[in-house]
Chain A
Amino acid sequence: MIMRKPGVVSSRALVTLVIIAVLALVPPVAATIGEGFYVDVFTRIMIFAIAALSLDIILGYGGMVSFGHAAYLGIGAYAVGILAFYGVDNGFLQFGTAILASAVAALFIGFVSLRTSGIYFIMITLAFAQMIYFLSISLNTYGGDNGLNIDRPSDFARLVNLSNATTLYYVVFAVLMLFLFLGQRLVNSRFGMVIRGAKSNERRMAAIGFPLLRYKLTAFVIAGAMCGVAGALLANQDLFVAPAVMQWTRSGEILMMVILGGMGTLVGPILGAVAFLALETVLSDLTGHWQAIMGPILVLVVLFARDGIFGLLSRIGVERSRG
């Protein structure tokens, strides 16, 4: 992250450009080969990439292992669903509410849980996410356990038509690129250095004069709000929202995407989301016990590629250019 040989920087940039190019080209390629469903598959992948990227800001840079990140996905999705339920399909209002609601939730959850660290932090974030999950089940008005259908996607003053799969795809793509760019600025800014320092050596940070809680809490809220946007997009793709969106296993999956792709890289989580969801699709076609194959793959990645798929690809790039 911080000290890196010039060759690796350029190879990382190259891998990043390739990922962006591939994602940008999915709809035309899918149309050419006549497999339109790939557009839907990759829309979903990118939505989870947004969630994973937002988690990476606090996990990979801030060292905060939140095991409840799916809660913000759920809050964002329910914000769209509940407003649509009352006939409010103005997209600006829906997405504004999704961002605000997930930010407020993150503010509250972070305020309590950031007073702890290590395993306690993991457990408290998980507990809060479970509370929100069970709250959503108890909301009978909004379908309870069965979830809530959404009649129409968000309406952005008729500027974009989100019921068109390709349009939705490029909207999600644009949001992902925007967040990647903003995230990159953020982690390299003064603020970013503070949360990285907190990950590296919290005691030292306090001794040199940083009131860390407010910086960590701010990062936590930013990440929560970003994930809320992912939730709002997910509601638009599925036109349905149910408590399952924020089940604790979902939080685990987002965590795995970050680790699989490469923590503390921002691009890594995008790769992680692609790898995880593609593997899930392929493996679950082969066998119902696909997790039995996914598990060992994750273990191997953690053991042999500490910086994830992104690190692995970047290193291959370097060796190629040398060889």
Chain B
Amino acid sequence: MAEPLLSVTGLCRHFGGVVATDNVSLTIAEGELHAIIGPNGAGKTTLVAQLMGELRPHRGTIRLGDRDVTTMPSYRRSRRGIARSFQITSIFPEFTARDNIALAVQAHAGHNFRFWRAARTDPALRKPACAILDSVGLGHRADVPAATLAHGEQRLLEIAIALAARPRLLLLDEPMAGMAPEDAARMVRFLSQLKGKITLLLIEHDMDAVFALADRITVMVYGSVIASGTPGQIRANAEVRKAYLGEDELA
């Protein structure tokens, strides 16, 4: 097997006495869609924040390919190909949808100490931004202020911003959170198109979506990994059923 794109070893992070990440190790192969599931408070979002470099782990290492990125700041990881979407929509509300994407394109189009030419009419930013908006099905909403987009559209924009960075590894933190069923179905279709093109780490509570999409699943409870494997293995895992799936299926 080729070297994994992401390998996390012995990651620990606590907040005071609360252990949010407890000796987490996992590997994600290039091209894989890897889902992380677990009840609320299992430390999934904290893990994403550490992978993105927003939060420094107290112990352990994070490697992207052959490179140790454990202490690398967010913007450098972004340049090395990690991008993320946020559980709570994190867009630029006063910018138009296109400007939201153009800004992300700009981040990866050389330095930005350019003071003279108008950015918004620059085809080098506008064209790729429009293409990405089209790819998520928001092309017709390009000139709409992001703040006035519908919730489902904002969730798509959220992912489009991350995609504009042309990541190798995209971390998706509950992309379907708070979505209406038809929007969620649209998101699942979109993610299945994305699958295979880039490596995806998906945090999601929608079990149908997770088991339909994931190549591998890691289950976290109270900050630690209790199981990791294919959807079939996870479904059959007694500990997982007890800790998580059982109560979720009842709900």
Contact = CB atoms under 8 A, between A and B. Distances in A.
B162 A208 contact: yes
Interface in A169-200: 185-186, 188-194, 196-197, 200
A211 interface: yes
Contacts of A287: none
Given A190-B119, A191-B112, A200-B94, A207 B145 contact: no
B85 to A, nearest CB: 9
B172 to A, nearest CB: 13
Interface centre among A186, A196, A212, A218 (most CB of B within 10 A): A196
Contacts of B222: none
Interface string B66-104: 000000011110110001101000111111100100111
Contacts of A185: 115-116, 118
Contact of A188 (B95, B107, B120, B164): B120
B224 interface: no
Contact of B119 (A188, A200, A204, A210): A188
Given A189-B116, A189-B117, A193-B119, A208 B78 contact: yes
The bracket for how many chain B residues form the interface is 35 or more
Interface string A15-43: 00000000000000000000000000000
A206 interface: yes
Nearest to B110: A190
Interface centre among B108, B113, B143, B162 (most CB of A within 10 A): B113
Interface centre among A1, A190, A196, A215 (most CB of B within 10 A): A190
A271 B73 CA distance: 42
19 contacts: A2-B99, A3-B96, A189-B115, A189-B117, A193-B103, A200-B93, A201-B92, A203-B54, A204-B90, A206-B74, A207-B52, A207-B74, A207-B86, A208-B103, A208-B164, A208-B165, A209-B74, A209-B104, A209-B108
Across chains A and B, which 8 residue pairs bring their CB atoms closest together, nearest first? A209-B78, A209-B107, A206-B74, A190-B114, A200-B92, A208-B104, A3-B145, A190-B119
Interface of A: 1-3, 185-186, 188-194, 196-197, 200-201, 203-212, 215, 218
